[in-house]
Structure 1
């Protein structure tokens, strides 16, 4: 259940990447929980950790109105309910756990990954345009969401976080800390006009 839950959340937020030699600080900066973040391998990998005191996250330096956003992610091998490893786009002020298009959402979709996301890195991608969002895992489309005709795009930034929430299960804190790994940082986005 822990693996399925972690995999689900990852896809609900998704945005992720193919192998890239890009370094973290080219596109991203720390967001919160900096004492729970390690940048390693000469800036090519970021480790986000969560324990009873805090989680951690980072965000893109710029905002975008469309683009391709990719990253490779490996979740913690210490499986528990309640810990969320995520990569997503958001506007300032709200965190969204499914697709929202000027309404209340309710567009969650569960996708079986067919692999253990804690065993190795996998590539996740969000291809976002004014008309649709295409979610990909390891270059395979797992979901396409077409916007309603009345959707007006707003500037969004990319975030990656490790945090906990009760609707995803109960965290077994005796296994803490939980560390998730991010690499392959890639952004090809367009600025809003």
Structure 2
């Protein structure tokens, strides 16, 4: 009995050790930031970035003296990031509110962009997305949002996996970019990226191609953020994390859109997409190689 008891103890110890090792292998993501100060830093014009609700939310300010911006303290390689944003209300023509990921490298930049283009009052708010892979960008698409994004907070997300990149608005896909490296198309997967946001003046191009200029009589302009959510592999961090197939975002359910997501994505493209670089023959007489491929 004594020997059996010892074997049981040893067995329990081995199980505990194995469970601990498995747990270590699966601890791959950062937690939700508790406050803005814990996971982000101001990158530009700190007197134009104001903390709200004890740091759980922030306000960005644009006036004639300056715009502003912030960034994550760490970089990440794969995962999902999201923020709830309430955009500039009223006459926001000429302003751009951006939420994006960037590798912070000059010559071979990787970048995943949301750019919210200000409007004249009463016009739809347009969101432009763009993807840079291995230094090559110019992959813009524009979608008119089907709600007023200045009236309340909405969730904007970027999911980045080995299989695909999905831009989401309230969990509705508005842009999908699949990994087509097997066909010679660049895909960002080697460089970690930080998370950034800015509010700035871009009235030379932002609203109707620059025809609508910013009205400084309406300044200051405000955008609001809350519920910063980061689930990804921090770099520096565990070296095996970015390649761990147990990360939830790499699971079979996330390697393609679900039927419901695919239906919503087709609805966005059919009813709300107003520009797609793939069909712009003035810029691309020869269709870019990634266009026309299955991105569902």
The interval holding the TM-score normalised by the smaller chain is 0.7 to 0.9
> Relative contact order (C-alpha < 8 Å, sep 6+): which is higher?
1
Cα distance between partner residues in 2 of 1:42 and 1:57: 19
| Count of residue pairs brought into register by the alignment | 174
Alignment of 1:47-58 (within 5 A): 47-58=59-70
1:144 aligns to 2:176 (yes or no):
yes
Whichever structure has more strand as a proportion of its residues is 1
Partner deviation per Cα, 1:71-124 (whole Å, 9 max, x = no partner): 000011132322011111012155855101125322211122210111111011
2:61 & 2:170 partners in 1: Cα distance? 24
Secondary structure of 1:191's aligned partner: strand
Alignment partners' CA distance in 1, 2:179 and 2:97: 26
Corresponding residue for residue 164 of structure 1: 201
Extract unaligned runs of 5+ from structure 2: 1-31, 114-129, 240-296
Unaligned runs of 5+ in 1: 1-19
**Displaced runs of 4 or more, over 3 A:** 93-97
2:91 counterpart (79, 90, 110): 79
TM-score of the two chains, using structure 2 as the length reference: 0.55
Once residues 107 and 49 of structure 1 are traced to their aligned partners in structure 2, the CA distance between those partners, rounded to angstroms, is: 29
Measured on the aligned residues, the alpha-carbon RMSD in Å equals: 1.9
- Alignment TM-score, normalising by the size of structure 1: 0.83
Select the structure of larger CA radius of gyration: 2
Q: Is the 8 A contact 2:33 2:39 kept in 1?
A: no
**Equivalent residue in structure 1 for 2:144, among 112, 115, 118:** 112
Which residue in 1 is equivalent to 2:224?
181
Structure (1/2) with the larger helix percentage: 2
Give the 3 Å change call, closer, same or farther, for CA 172–154 of structure 1 in structure 2.
Answer: same
